Amino acid sequence: MMEKLYLVARIADTRVALRSRAINSVVTVGTPVEVPGAPPHVAGLFALRSRVLTLIDPHVVVGLPSVPVAPGQRVIVVDVAEHGYALLADQIEDVCFIDAPETRVAGKLMPGWARVADAVIEHEGASLLVVDPAHFITLPALKAA
Amino acid sequence: MDDLLNDFLAETAEILAEAGGALVAWEADPSDRERLDAIFRLVHTIKGSSGFLALPRVTALAHAAEDALDQVRRGNRPANAALVTAVLGIVDRLSEICAVLGSKGAEPEGDDSDVIGAFAVGEAAPDPGAEAPTEVAGIPMRREDDLGADLQNWRSIRVPLPLLDSVMTGVTDIVLARNEFARMLRESGADPSVIASFDRLSDSIAGMRQSVSQMRMQRIDKLFAPLPRIVRDLAQELGKKIRFTTSGGEVELDREMMENIRDPLIHIVRNAIDHGIEAMGDRVAAGKDVTATIAVSARQSGNQIEIEIRDDGRGLSPDALVAKAIAARILTATESRALATKDKYELVFRPGFSTASKITAVSGRGVGMDIVKSNVEKIGGVVELRNDEGRGLAILLRVPMTLTIISGLMVRAAGQYFAIPRGAVREILLESSDSVRIEKLGGGEIVTVRGEQHPLLRLEQVLGRARDHRDDADDRALVLIRPGQGQSYALSVAAIHDHEELVIKPAAPMIMATGLYAGTTLPDNGRPVLLLDVQGILAAAHIDASEIGRGVDRAAEAEAEANAARNAAQLLLFRDICGRTRGVRLSVIERVEEVPALALFESAGRVQAQIGDHIFPVHAARLPDGHGTIKLLRLHDGRSILCYPIAEVIDIVRLPDLVQPAAAPGLIAGVLLVGGDPVELIDPYWLMEQYAADAPAPTPRQPLCRLADDHDGWGDNFLAPILRGAGYRVTSEHTDETPDVLLCLTEEGVLEDGLENGGVPTIRLRVSVAAAGPDDETVYRYDRGALLDALRRRLGGGRP
C-alpha cells in the first residue's frame, strides 16, 4: 500500500509526486544559516529539534535561478545516506493514494528535470512527474565535480 | 537465544581481555592469592555461561583452565611460566572460537587437545585435563566464596550503543526545547513562581544531560587490559625483561573514543618494546637496570585525557633520525641542517619513516608513527614526544574525552558564526595589537608576531564572502592556528565570540566535500554553526604553512629572552598565614610546595620542614596549627633553600618600579602598590641572612679519619659519631684512599699497612686519665676537647 502513497507538491515551479516512503516529514523551515563555499543548490543549514538539516533549493537542481527562502516556508525532509536534507517546496498540496501505474516519461524534459524524474503518473486528470528526492541531493554533487 | 549468545560473546570478550592481563600480573607474583582467585572466577564465569548455552568446546577449554588453576589454589600444583603459558593458550583458543561464534552463530568443529594437553607439561599431579572433554554438561558448583565476588558484575547491565545514542539525542532535543521555552517565558513576562518552577525543571534537565553523557563512559583500564599480555609475549619473543605498570585506570573515556585509540596505543607499546628498550646486554653496558620499565598512565585534565607511554629505553637520537630520514629520502641533507632538535624528533611522524635499523617481525610492518598520529588527530587528539636521549622516551596522547564533544572557539566572519577547534588554536591576538605587524607581499599577506612570521588568511576571503559592513574594524582578531606539527598560519576573523563545548556531527557529504568544514554543531540558541576544518582551509588557500625555514627558532629564542626579562621583574603575590598580602620577587622562588602539616617539626627551637629526603629551615616562629596541608614558598639563593609558609598564591604581576623602602632592614624591604592596594615586599636578602648561619658551611673536602686497632667496637660506636659531627669522615676498614689522620685506639698497637711510616699523622688514645709522663703524646680517650684539638693540629681541618 505504501508504494502507492504519494506526496503531491509544487517544487521548482512544477507539480510533482514524491513517493512517500522516501519522505521523513514535512515541516516549516527555520531561519537557515548559510554555508559559504558549498555547491549552489545548498541553501543553508537549519535545525529541526536537535538535528541539523541541509536545505536544498530544487530550483538550482533543475537549472533555474535560486529563490530566497521565505520565513515559514514548508520543506520536505528526506533522509539520504543517514543525513537529513530538506527540499524547499513552493507548495505542499496533499498526501494521497494514487492507484494509477507509473509510466515512462514520454515528452522531452529540461535537462535538469530529466535527471530527477523517474516516471509520470496520472492523478485527478493531470500528469505529474514522479521524482525521487534522493536525486536532488546526489546528482548535483556529481555535476559539481 | 541470539540475545543470550550476543551477551555471552560480549561478556566473554571482556573477560578474556581482563584474564590475559591478570594472568601476566599473577605470573610476576604467584603468591598473590587474590589475583589467582580473580582469574579463577573469570574462567569459572565463562564455563558457567557456556554450559548454559551448550557450547561444549568452550566449556571443555574453560574447564581445563579452571581445573589447573584450582589445583594451584589448593597447593597441589606450582604456579610457573608453563602453567601461565598453557592458560594463555586456552584464552587465545577461546578468543578464536568466540570470533567464529560471533560471525557464524555456531561453535566451529575442532580439536582442543593440543592446548588442553599443555597443562600436562610439568605437572606433578595426575593429568585432569585429559578427562576434561568428557565432562560437558555437569557444571560442578564451586564453594560459595568463589561466586561471592561475581555479584558485583550483576550490578551493571548491558545496553546497546544505539539505544544510548537515542537517549542522548532525546535529551539534546529536550535541552533545545527548554531553551526555546525559556525565551518565550522571558518575553511573556511570566509570573515569578512559574519561572521558579521552570528553573527547577531546567536544573534537572541539566543534571540529566550530564548523566546521559556519563552513560557512554567507560573506565580506561578496559583499554589497558590487553597490554600486559602483549608486553609479556613480545618481551619473551625478543628476550627482554620488562616490568610493565599501568596507572590511572579509573579515568573514564567515551566508548567510541576508546575504540579509536586502542590500535595507536598498542602500536606505541609494541614500538617501545621492540625499538625503545635495548637488548639486555646493552642495558648492562649502559649501567641500567636489566629489567626495563614501561609505564602507561592516564589522567584527566579538563575535558581531555592524557595517556602517557613512558619507557626507560634508549630514547630517540636526533642524529640517527636525520640520517635515517635522509636514507629514506624523506629529507635532503640541506633541509636537515635547517632543522631544530625538536623538528628532528618530529621526523618519526613522517610517512615512510621507520626508526628500526632493520625491519623486524614485530613493529616494522609499514604501520608507522605517521598512522598513529593521523589516527589520533582524526579524533581531535595530539601526539607529543618527550625524549631523553639514552634514558627513555615518553609519548603523550592527548585526546578529547568524548568523540563528539569538543571545545570550540566561536568566531564571526561575513556576518555569521563559525567554530574553530580549540586544540588547534595557539594564540588569539587583536589585529590592532602592538605585537602584530601585517604586511602585503606580492598580493598575499603575512603577519609577524613577536618576530615570528605566519601566512595570513582572511576567513571571508577563504569562504568567498564579502566582509560584513556592520563589523567593527577594531574587533578584527587573528587566530594563530597550528593545524598540525610544524605548521602554523594566522586566520583573520571579524570578531572572537567565546568558547563553547560543542557537540559535533558530520555535515552532509557535499558540505564536507568543500574541504572547508569538519562538521556542524548546534549551540543552545538553536542556530547551526559550521566547524572549520583548519587543515582543509590551508589546502583550499594553497599556501605552505610549514614552519621550516621561517626562522622560528630565532623567534623562539627571542621569546624566551623576553620571558626571562619579564621574569626578572615579576612579583609573586601571596597571602601569608596571617592573612596579609605580601609579595616576593618571582625569580627567588624555586617553586611552591604543598606539604602535609605533619611534615613540619620543631627542632632546637627552629621550625623545619621535611620534603622528600631533605630537611629545610622554615621561616616561622612556631609550628602552624591544625592538620591538612600547608603551602611553602621555596626560596633559593643558589646554595641553600628556605621555606616560607603561605596561605595561598594570589597572582603573578609585574614588579612596580616604585617601592617605598622600609625604615630599618628586616623581613619587609618596603611597601609597593599593586592595583591600588599596598603590598609588603619581602626582603629575601634579610631572610636568607637569618638562616644562612645555620646552614652547614660546605667544606670542600672532609678529611678522612682512619680508626685503627678498634677491637671492641668502641671506636665505631662511641668515637666515630663525635668525629663525623666535627666534620670528619671516619673509616675503620682499609680503603684505597690514604687517610688524612690515623687514630690508634691502643697505646702500643702495631700499625699495619705501613701507614704510620707513610707520613700519615697519627694520634694514639690512652685509657687512663693521667698521662704516662711528660713525653706522653697520647690523648685520654674521653677528653673530647683535647682529641679534637689534636686532630685540628695535625690537619688544620674540621670544624670547631
Chain B positions touching A49 (Cβ under 8 A) are 173, 176-177
Q: How far is A55 from chain B (nearest CA, A)?
A: 10
Predicted confidence (pLDDT) per residue in B311-367, tens digit: 988 888 888 888 888 887 777 777 777 777 777 887 888 776 765 444 444 444 445
Nearest CB to B527; choose among A33, A37, A144: A33
Q: What confidence score (pLDDT) does residue B799 get?
A: 44
pLDDT bracket for residue B111 (50, 70, 90): confident
Calculate ∠ Cα B734-B740-B745, nearest 5°.
Answer: 65
Q: Which residues of A touch B176 (CB under 8 A)?
A: 47, 49-50
| 3-state SS, residue A126 | strand
Mean pLDDT of B385-393: 85
pLDDT bucket at B405, cuts 50 / 70 / 90: low
Tell me the shortest Cα–Cα distance from B528 to chain A, in angstroms.
Answer: 6
Using a CB-CB cut-off of 8 Å, the residues of chain A touching B175 are 50
The CA distance from B657 to B52, in Å, is 82
Give the integer Cα–Cα distance in Å for B684 and B537: 53
Share of chain B above pLDDT 70, in %: 84
Q: What is the pLDDT of residue B357?
A: 46
Instruction: For residue B790, name the pLDDT band (cuts at 50, 70, 90).
Output: confident
- As a whole number, the mean pLDDT across chain B is 77
Which of these, B465, B512, B519, B517, lies nearest to B493 by C-alpha position? B465
For the segment B769-779, the average pLDDT, to the nearest whole number, is: 78
Residue B796: pLDDT over 80: no
Task: Identify the residue among A52, A60, A61, A78 best suited for mutation to test binding to B, counting B beta carbons within 10 A and taking the highest.
Answer: A52
Q: Which residue of B has its CA nearest to A31?
A: B527
In whole angstroms, what is the distance from residue A37 CA to residue B463 CA?
A: 6
pLDDT band at B560 (very low <50, low <70, confident <90, very high): low
Q: What 3-state DSSP class applies to B1?
A: coil
pLDDT in tens, B3-27: 777 778 888 888 888 888 888 888 8
What is the complex's ipTM, to 2 decimals? Answer: 0.85
Chain A partners within 8 Å of B540 (Cβ): 37
Residues of chain A with C-beta less than 8 angstroms from the C-beta of B172: 50
The overall average pLDDT reported for chain A is 80
Tally the C-alpha atoms within 13 A of residue B287's C-alpha that lie toward its C-beta.
Answer: 2
Residue B256: count of CB within 10 angstroms of its CB: 15
Would you tell me which residues 28-87 of chain A have a C-beta closer than 8 angstroms to some C-beta of chain B?
30-31, 33-39, 42, 45-47, 49-50, 52, 54, 81, 83, 85
How close, in Å, is residue B465 to chain A by CA atoms?
A: 7
Grade residue B485 by pLDDT with cuts at 50, 70 and 90.
low
Please indicate whether residue B40 or residue B749 has the higher confidence score (pLDDT). Answer: B40
Contacts of B169 in chain A (CB under 8 A): 50
**Mean pLDDT on B109-119:** 79
Q: Which of B311, B387, B307, B309 is nearest to B342 (CA)?
A: B387
Between A140-144, B281-285, B386-390, B792-796, the lowest mean confidence (pLDDT) is in: A140-144
Gap between the Cα atoms of B793 and B776, Å rounded:
16
Q: What is the pLDDT of residues B407-423, one digit of tens each?
A: 788 888 888 899 888 77
Give the pLDDT confidence score for residue B295 in this predicted structure: 92
**Cβ contact, residue pair B528, A140, below 8 Å:** no
Residue A107, CA distances (Å) to A62, A104, A110, B690 in order: 16, 9, 10, 105
Hey, are the CB atoms on A49 and B177 less than 8 Å from each other?
yes
**Lowest-pLDDT choice from A53-67, B431-445, B699-713, B771-785:** B699-713
Grid coordinates in use for A22? Answer: 522516501
pLDDT interval class at B556 (50, 70, 90):
low
Mean pLDDT over residues B185-204, rounded?
85
Q: What are phi and psi of B10, to 5 degrees?
A: -65, -45
| pLDDT bucket at A141, cuts 50 / 70 / 90 | very low
User: Euclidean distance between the first and final Cα of chain B, in Å?
Assistant: 90
> Which pLDDT does position B363 carry in this prediction?
45
| Secondary structure (3-state) at A2 | helix
Q: Which three cell numbers mark A26? A: 514535512
The label of the residue with cell 609558609 reads: B645
* Contact residues, chain A, for B178 at CB < 8 Å: none
B-side interface with A, Cβ within 8 Å?
169, 172-173, 175-177, 414, 416, 463-465, 505-511, 513-514, 516-517, 520-522, 526-530, 540
Residue B552 pLDDT: 47
Task: Please judge whether A50 and B516 are an interchain contact, meaning their C-beta atoms are less than 8 angstroms apart.
Answer: no
What is the average per-residue pLDDT within B725-753? 74
By C-alpha distance, the chain B residue nearest A138 is: B510
B764 versus A138: the higher-pLDDT residue is: B764
For the question of whether the overall pTM of this predicted structure is more than 0.95, the answer is no
* Partner-chain contact A45 B528, CB within 8 Å: yes
Element (H or E) spanning B392, and its range? Answer: strand B392-400
State the average pLDDT over residues B53-78. Answer: 83
Coil vs helix vs strand at B688: helix
Asked if B530 and A83 come within 8 Å (Cβ–Cβ), the reply is no
Positive/negative CA dihedral, B428, B431, B434, B437? positive
Of A42, A50, A137, the CB nearest to B173: A50
Average pLDDT over residues B107-130: 65
**Closest-approach residue (CA) in chain A for B531:** A35
Check: CB of residue B136 under 8 Å from CB of residue B56.
yes
Please check the confidence at residue B476 and state whether its pLDDT lies above 80. yes
Residue numbers in B near A38 (CB within 8 A) = 510-511, 514
Q: What is the pLDDT of residue A13?
A: 81
Nearest Cβ partner for A38 among B169, B514, B529: B514
**Of B331, B488, B315, B321, nearest in space to B394 by CA:** B315
Q: Mind telling me how many Å the CA of B415 is from chain A's nearest CA?
A: 10
Cell numbers for B668, please give them. 619587609
Task: Measure the CA–CA gap between B641 and B687, rounded to whole angstroms.
Answer: 11
Which residue of chain A comes nearest to B516, CA vs CA?
A37
Q: Which regions of B401-451 does DSSP assign to beta strands (E)?
A: 405-413, 416-421, 425-430, 436-441, 444-449
Q: Average pLDDT, stretch B177-184? A: 78
Residues 6+ apart with CB under 8 A from A78: A22, A23, A24, A84, A85, A86, A87, A133, A134, A137
Hey, are the CB atoms on B463 and A36 less than 8 Å from each other?
yes
Q: How would residue B101 be classed by pLDDT, with cut points 50, 70 and 90?
A: confident
Q: Could A137 and B508 be called an inter-chain contact, meaning their C-beta atoms sit closer than 8 Å?
A: yes
Segment A44-73 shows an average pLDDT of 83
Residue B16: what pLDDT?
A: 84
Q: How confident is the model at residue B294 (pLDDT cuts 50, 70, 90)?
A: very high
Cβ–Cβ below 8 Å for A83 and B508: yes
pLDDT band at B753 (very low <50, low <70, confident <90, very high): low
At B740, the pLDDT band (50, 70, 90 cuts) reads confident
What percent of the residues of chain A are helix, what percent strand, and what percent coil, each to the nearest 5?
A: 20, 45, 35
pLDDT digits (tens, 9 = 90+) for B611-621: 777 888 888 87
Would you state the pLDDT for residue B751?
A: 58
Between B416, B514, B516, which is nearest A34 by CB? B416
Tell me the β-bridge partners of B421.
Answer: B408
Closest CA–CA distance from residue B512 to any residue of chain A (Å): 9
Q: Which of B685, B688, B682, B686 is nearest to B572 (CA)?
A: B682
Q: What is the pLDDT of residue B310?
A: 92
Q: Determine the residue type at B314.
A: R
Quote the pLDDT of residue B563.
55
Contacts of B517 in chain A (CB under 8 A): 35
Residue B309 is predicted with a pLDDT of 92
- Tell me the pLDDT tens digit for each residue of A75-129: 889 888 778 898 888 888 888 888 778 877 777 777 778 778 888 888 888 888 8
Residue of A50, A56, A79 for testing the chain B interface, max B β-carbons within 10 Å: A50
Quote the CA–CA distance of B528 and A46 in Å, as a whole number.
Answer: 6
Average pLDDT over residues B516-531: 83
